[in-house]
Amino acid sequence: MKSTLRLSVMFMSFCLFKSETCTVRDEEVYNAGLETVIVGQPVGIDCYLDKILHLNQTTYSLKWYRNGSEVPITNKTDSRIHQHDNMLWFLSAIFQDSGFYTCILRESARCYKSVVRVAVFNNSDGQCFHDELFYEQEIPIGSNAKIVCPALGNFKEDMNALSVHWYKECKQLDGQRYVFYGEDFIINNVNSNDSGKYQCKATYTYEGNKYNISRSIFVIAVASPEKKRTEILYPRNNTIEAELGSNVFVECNVSTFRDNFISISWKVNKTLVDILYEGRIKEGYQKDFRTEGGELSVVSLNITELKRDDYGEQFVCYAGEVAAYITVQAPTRHYIGYLVGSLAALVFVIALLVLIYLLFKIDIILWYRKSCHPFLHKKVADGKIYDAYVLYPKTHNPDCFVLKVLPEVLEKKCGYTLFIWGRDELPGKALVSVIDETIKQSRRLIIILKSGSPSYKLLEEAPEQQIAVYNALVHDGMKVILIELDKIKDYSNMPESIQYIKQKHGAIQWKGDLTERQSYSPSTKFWKKVRYRMPPGHQIFSELPLVETSLNTCQTIGR
């Protein structure tokens, strides 16, 4: 709405004076506001200072004065001119009331002053339009325009006492094309014939007296420059998700051109939701906001408690000719995301388990052998006598590791049966046949390697070793355990078969100290590795106390 007061442009301006005494120098009273009124009509004049300063009601006092008078205007309601709260009321104005009025607001140490000029116009009796005092309003052709009766605002708080009638060119308007809406009214589908002189007449009842108020409005129907169509911005026939029993709140946002008045409502099956759902689903009041070149109207829909029947129902927002709906559906679980998530978690767990297994493989297997399968502890009935055939270079004679440590740990503590050449062979048998036979009766072949000896030529020196290695490689199922007594950097001068075994099965390196007690414990890393490669069916019988002689032997040999 664009209203201008042509004859006397209505503007309120204030001088704000800050002074202890509120004495105001003459040159400061030049800036006066103007309020117009027709003879015989009531008017309420606002001081505005209280509103501008945002003061706490309890902390200031406000008084009205006629210019030049030290005596404040009375607050007695039966007086024709009186202060009504912070306003100055004339019931009704007479021609002689024209002049200046001041409003002084005192607040503890400060005080403020505003000056208002009141202009009373002679009544042009019998006229339906005041040619000297009128407002102007432009309305767009094709729209539904709201015509506003101006300046009734100061009596608005007592709305029930106001009844407004509208006239055009002296004829009262009937309700066919017009919708009366409080003190305003709406012209549906404006055309050029709607231009003209309008007048609103209101009767205001106060303390038993009736007062007539009238305003003149000159209406001009203009071709809307950019005829913005009514458009529903939201909803857009979309679906939202909500849980059963939840409170669903949506807004129908409608954009229209300025001053277009459209009725907006929410319906289901063409019935207003307020009626259909008896209060469970409610439509909100229409809120209008000015936007650039148009207006945004918002009407809410409040489903206080979502019921199963509401799922899939079309809640339609009607805005004049256009409509759009929204539907509610139960929240969908995001299965794909869920699936991907659990798969990732599964893969992670598996990877972790594999990692743990790789790191602790030996311990796990040994523990498994020990605790899970007690029946494994019985020797396997495969017709074999020895758990391992021990092969070693004879350059060190007697070897402490082979003859003392190995039997101490594997035989005494773990219960394995070993065949150690030079200890266990029976005299009087042909060497080759003994070796061949014995190896066939063994489940594992343990080869001890040592780099220190200057000529470590296994095959050349000992034909029995050649046979053993050959058997180990050719005969199926024979597993070889390679033990390095020290770090062997270069395998290239080793026999090819040894190189092959090293490559295929790897070697276990002895790092212990033969003279240390710890080296005789089957729980060390080294012995765990050996036991892991040994046939299952044995466990640590006991952590038997170490026979001191073993240590002593090694000490003497080691030196």
Supply the residues annotated as catalytic. Answer: 464
- Counting Cβ atoms within 10 Å, is residue 548 exposed (0-12), middle (13-18) or buried (19+)? exposed
Q: In the beta sheet, which residues pair with residue 271?
A: 268
Taking the least distance from each CB to ligand NAG, the nearer of 13 and 122 is 122
* CB of residue 262 to ligand NAG, shortest distance in Å: 16
Among 127, 304, 518, 542, binds ligand NAG (CB under 6 A): 304
**Least spacing, CB of residue 197 vs ligand NAG, in Å:** 16
Give the one residue of 21, 58, 108, 160 binding ligand NAG; rule: CB under 6 A: 58
Binding positions for ligand NAG, 201-260, rule CB under 6 A: 210-212, 233-234, 236-237, 247, 249, 251, 253
Report which of 181, 180, 219 is spatially closest to residue 199, judged by C-alpha positions.
219
Q: Does 453 bind ligand NAG (CB under 6 A)?
A: no
Q: Is 143 in the site for ligand NAG (CB under 6 A)?
A: no
Q: Which residues of 322-348 are buried (b: 16+ CB within 10 A; e: fewer)?
A: eebbbebeeeeeeeeeeeeeeeeeeee
Do β-strands 209-222 and 135-140 pair in parallel, antiparallel, or remain unpaired?
A: parallel
Question: Which residue is closest to ligand NAG by CB?
Answer: 68
- Report how far residue 123's alpha carbon sits from residue 133's, in angstroms, rounded to the nearest whole number: 10
Q: Are 447 and 480 in contact (CB under 8 A)?
A: yes
> Minimum distance between the CB of residue 151 and ligand NAG, rounded to whole angstroms?
18
SS3 56: coil
DSSP code of residue 332: P
Among 302, 441, 466, 553, contact with ligand NAG (rule: CB under 6 A): 302
How many residues form the binding site for ligand NAG (CB under 6 A)?
36
Strands 264-268 and 315-319: antiparallel
In the complex, the smallest distance separating the C-beta of residue 324 from ligand NAG, rounded to whole angstroms, is 5
CA–CA separation, 139 vs 554, rounded Å? Answer: 117
Q: Which residue in this structure is represented by tokens 């309305």?
A: 139
Nearer to ligand NAG, 276 or 434 (CB): 276
**In angstroms, rounded to a whole number, what is the distance separating the alpha carbons of residues 255 and 495?**
94
Stretch binding ligand NAG (CB under 6 A), from 323-331, 426-434, 436-444, 527-535: 323-331
Contact between 530 and 508 (Cβ < 8 Å) = yes
**Given candidates 193, 455, 492, 549, which one binds ligand NAG under the rule CB under 6 A?**
193
Q: How far is it, in rounded angstroms, from Cα 183 to Cα 201?
A: 10
Q: Does 67 engage in binding with ligand NAG (CB under 6 A)?
A: yes
Site string for ligand NAG, 344-373 (x = CB under 6 A): ------------------------------
H/E element, 239: strand 238-241
Q: Kindly report the CA angle at 518 between 517 and 520, in degrees rounded to 5?
A: 75
Beta strands in 374-420 (DSSP E): 386-391, 418-420
Interface region with ligand NAG, contact rule CB under 6 A, candidates 148-156, 190-198, 422-430, 471-479 = 190-198
Q: Residue 325 interacts with ligand NAG (CB under 6 A)?
A: yes
Q: How far is the CB of 39 from ligand NAG (least distance, A)?
A: 7
Give the nearer residue to ligand NAG in terms of CB position, either 173 or 296.
296
Kindly tell me which residue out of 122, 397, 503, 542 binds ligand NAG, with binding defined by CB under 6 A.
122
Angle separating helix axes 463-474 and 431-440, nearest 10 degrees: 30
Q: Which stretch binds ligand NAG (CB under 6 A): 44-52, 176-184, 220-228, 268-276?
A: 268-276
Residues that bind ligand NAG (CB under 6 A): 29, 40, 56, 58, 67-68, 75, 95, 100, 122, 191-193, 210-212, 233-234, 236-237, 247, 249, 251, 253, 268-269, 276, 289, 296, 298, 302, 304, 313, 323-325
